[in-house]
A and B are shown apart, each in its own frame.
Chain A
Amino acid sequence: MSRPMPSPTRVLHYAFCCAMMVFLVGPILAVIPISFSSAGFLSYPIPGLSLQWYEKVLAASGPWLPALRNSLIVGTGTMALATILGTLAALGLARNDLPGRSFLLGLLIAPMVVPLVISGVAMYFLFARIGLTASYLGLILAHAVLGAPFVVITVTATLRNFDTTLVRAAYSLGASPVRAFFTVTLPLILPGVLSGGLFAFIFSFDEVVVALFIGGPEQRTLPRQMFDGIRDTIDPSILAMSTLLVGVTIVFMGLLARLGRGTGSKPGSNA
């Protein structure tokens, strides 16, 4: 028995998918070899291999390492603030009979649908008056409020599969609400909380619009540095940085897959 010939529509569907795969990952992969080029031009063929662009990017005197440091500071602060506030809010929202629940949810995720340039400019106007521009605190506050919706959404989704009778069981065994939260609820929703925190971190790590307005020269983050680099002249050192970031992305994807939320709404591309 030979296998039946696939129908023409099926063949077409496969062909379409393969073309889309090339479109989706082709450009990202195509520029990676150029970052190892010994020449400064951005095309093929590559005359020879060299690590000079990586040396340039990772040079202690260059602008990239301080930018990375700033991104890590802001990202960590954002993650901490957004995760705590977002998780608490998601726990509160988990009650279906909460009055105005739908309105509250709409409000809490509003930062996701307002264009970043509007949020950024609005925060800049206010922060400029109270001296929060060009400060780490200002940038962390701004990123945290924009990143918190991702935590709310991720934790809310996790709580939908959460069996509330477990908490009642803990109460019936004499646990206080706080104890029940830390010994029963939190361990069970931890993967959701961690993914939410990771989302908030990635949002901040990739965010450039608000960083352009709120951050000063001292708070120049990695995306900001890349933005300026792309706007001036792209040289292979940008591609070296890109390649390193793609590597980081793959690590993040692996982490999220382990946490069980490989898909889901992703922050950051609202630029």
Chain B
Amino acid sequence: MTRMASTTETMAGTSALAPPSLSSRAKARMVSVLLIAPLVLFLTLVFVLPLGGMLFHAVENGEVGGALPGVAAEMRGWTGEGLPPEAAYAALARDLKAAYGEPRLGEASRRLNYERAGYRALLAKTARAVRAIDRPQAGWTAELTAIDARWGEPATWAALRRASPSLTPYYLLTALDLRMDDGGAILRAPAEERIYIDTLGRTLWIGFVTTLLCLVLGFPLAHALVSLPRGFASVLMVCVLLPFWTSLLVRTSAWIVVLQKEGVLNGLLTRLGIVDAPLELVFNRFGLYVAMVHILLPFMILPILSVMKGISPSYMRASASLGAHPAVGFLKVYLPMTLPGVGAGCLMTFIIGVGYYITPSLVGGARDQMTSYFIAYYANTTINWGLSSALGAILLACIMLLYATVGRLIGVGRIAGIQ
């Protein structure tokens, strides 16, 4: 009895300090979920939802179906060969009368104009003309063809048919320099219209070169920060962090002032007699690389540095005591241990670099603009949300593929700098 009582007492006494039981663990897990939920909800509404909407805009195609519902339905039933039946002509005339003067007709015209140049004017002209016709004498096929001979051309109707479904591959194809011909086959765009693949290639290339330059400069710098004497290393660290924390626009404007034709560097070089005429150092690819490497270098240095800090010097001593030349020891022992940091640094540098918009638009030339430029251009200037979204979707796909691959290799925590 006494023993039993004391056991019970011990249990009661320790319950507050005891390791959490299963139910309290479940409760704690519940609390964790509740703590994370507000940010996840916020992120879903303000970030995931807009991105999802953007991906949808890349294939959304409601304009023609919304403004010209009758003829859009006829187009779905039509084989696409030759010219459509009279019913389609009649539906088009009805739709044009109903939509005349409304903004939705303008949206449909703009959409059709992407498929075939001149469609906007054709629709405007036809819509005006059909209003005067109450009862067609010889059927709508003849009336419409009389208004404009293009209604007698299969290509005009093929374009309307391509633009009629509620979803379209048009923007994604355009963003990849492809198009669909009247027969539905996918072809490459005419040579003079191929710009987006080149732009994407240039974007990835600029990202790659910048990353490589950052690695070549950043790795020895990170190594200096852990291996050189403390005083020197801390001055060096301040030099890495000051630009890191300085506003991007401050740094960009500083580079323009230093590099431009009448700028600080050219002034210095001319006065020293090194060059006769000022060099073209900015508003071209060279200036872009200089500014981007300057801005992105810390993103390479810091992850490498955090890994190097964790590598004990005893490894190198061990390799030396086993007879390895310092260079061999460096290559075979030290370098492999820094790879997670190198991977995280390269990933961040590349991902941030390929997404750059501000820096290329300020220090690059006309031929150095990257995909971001076109994403912003179509969103803002020409209001072609579909193409803007398609270009964004393709760039995003490239980045996410890389993020997922590298994240799996070295862990998301390391990319974020937590581990």
Q: Are B254 and A208 in contact, with the CB atoms below 8 A?
A: no
Number of interface residues of A (CB under 8 A): 103
Q: Which of B47, B256, B356, B417 has the most CB of A within 10 A?
A: B47
Interface string of B32-56 (1 = CB under 8 A from A): 1111111110110011011101100
Q: Are A108 and B39 in contact, with the CB atoms below 8 A?
A: yes
A259 within 8 A of B: no
Known: A16-B220, A157-B417; 9 extra A-B contacts, CB below 8 A, are A27-B257, A102-B413, A117-B355, A119-B50, A146-B47, A205-B247, A234-B256, A253-B245, A265-B302
A95 within 8 A of B: yes
B228 within 8 A of A: yes
Q: Are B254 and A30 in contact, with the CB atoms below 8 A?
A: yes
CB closest residue in chain A, given B374: A117
A126 within 8 A of B: yes
**Residues on the B chain within 8 Å of A31, using CB:** 253-254, 257-258, 264
Q: Which of B43, B250, B260, B380 has the most CB of A within 10 A?
A: B250
User: In whole angstroms, how far apart are the Cα atoms of A254 and B98 in the complex?
Assistant: 67
Q: Are B34 and A117 in contact, with the CB atoms below 8 A?
A: no
**Residues on the B chain within 8 Å of A122, using CB:** 50-51, 53-54, 389, 392
Q: Which of B40, B237, B412, B415 has the most CB of A within 10 A?
A: B412
Interface string of A169-213 (1 = CB under 8 A from B): 001100001000000000000000000000000100110110011
User: What's the least CB distance linking B242 to chain A, in Å?
Assistant: 6
Interface string of B350-391 (1 = CB under 8 A from A): 011011111101100000000010011001100001001100
A104 within 8 A of B: yes
Q: Are A268 and B248 in contact, with the CB atoms below 8 A?
A: yes
Q: Known contacts A44-B267, A263-B302; decide if A252 and B39 are in contact (CB<8 Å).
A: no
Which of B42, B232, B355 is the one whose CB lies under 8 Å from A85?
A: B42
**Residues on the B chain within 8 Å of A263, using CB:** 241, 302, 305-306
Q: Known contacts A113-B399, A152-B39, A153-B418; decide if A266 and B245 are in contact (CB<8 Å).
A: yes
User: In whole angstroms, how far apart are the Cα atoms of A92 and B380 in the complex?
Assistant: 39
Q: Are A115 and B357 in contact, with the CB atoms below 8 A?
A: yes
Q: Are A108 and B43 in contact, with the CB atoms below 8 A?
A: yes
Interface string of A80-114 (1 = CB under 8 A from B): 00000110110111110111001011111111111
CB contacts under 8 Å to B, within A1-22, are 13-14, 16-17, 20-21
- Give the size category of B's interface with A: 35 or more
Q: List 26 A-B contacts (CB under 8 A).
A: A20-B221, A24-B297, A28-B251, A42-B262, A93-B32, A105-B412, A107-B43, A111-B43, A114-B355, A115-B352, A121-B388, A122-B392, A123-B50, A153-B418, A157-B417, A171-B16, A206-B248, A212-B376, A213-B379, A226-B247, A242-B253, A249-B247, A263-B306, A265-B416, A269-B352, A271-B356
CB closest residue in chain B, given A157: B418
Q: Are B246 and A44 in contact, with the CB atoms below 8 A?
A: no
User: What's the least CB distance linking B50 to chain A, in Å?
Assistant: 4
A57 within 8 A of B: no
CB contacts under 8 Å to A, within B288-311, are 294-299, 302, 305-306
**Residues on the A chain within 8 Å of B34, using CB:** 92
A142 within 8 A of B: yes
B224 within 8 A of A: yes
Q: Are A253 and B379 in contact, with the CB atoms below 8 A?
A: no
Which of A24, A41, A121, A234 is the one whose CB lies under 8 Å from B54?
A: A121
Q: Are A145 and B43 in contact, with the CB atoms below 8 A?
A: yes
A74 within 8 A of B: no
User: In whole angstroms, how far apart are the Cα atoms of A28 and B35 in the complex?
Assistant: 42
Q: Known contacts A238-B253, A246-B250; decide if A14 and B228 are in contact (CB<8 Å).
A: yes
Which of B47, B223, B244, B399 is the one whose CB lies under 8 Å from A115?
A: B399
Q: Are B417 and A153 in contact, with the CB atoms below 8 A?
A: yes
Does more than half of chain B's interface fall in helix, strand or loop, or is it mixed? helix
Q: Are B357 and A25 in contact, with the CB atoms below 8 A?
A: no
CB contacts under 8 Å to A, within B250-278, are 250-258, 260, 262-264, 267-268
User: In whole angstroms, how far apart are the Cα atoms of A230 and B237 in the complex?
Assistant: 29
Q: Are A117 and B258 in contact, with the CB atoms below 8 A?
A: no
Interface string of B15-39 (1 = CB under 8 A from A): 0110000000100110111111111
CB contacts under 8 Å to B, within A256-271, are 262-266, 268-271
Q: Known contacts A42-B257, A105-B416, A109-B416; decide if A25 and B239 are in contact (CB<8 Å).
A: yes
CB closest residue in chain A, given B413: A105
**Residues on the A chain within 8 Å of B154, using CB:** none
Q: Are A98 and B32 in contact, with the CB atoms below 8 A?
A: yes
A245 within 8 A of B: yes
**Residues on the A chain within 8 Å of B362, using CB:** 227, 230-231
**Residues on the B chain within 8 Å of A113, using CB:** 351, 399, 403, 415
B99 within 8 A of A: no
8 closest residue pairs by CB, A with B: A115-B355, A92-B35, A92-B36, A122-B54, A122-B50, A89-B39, A92-B32, A117-B372
Which of B47, B243, B361 is the one whose CB lies under 8 Å from A110?
A: B47
Q: Are B247 and A223 in contact, with the CB atoms below 8 A?
A: yes
Q: Known contacts A17-B236, A234-B256; decide if A126 and B16 are in contact (CB<8 Å).
A: no
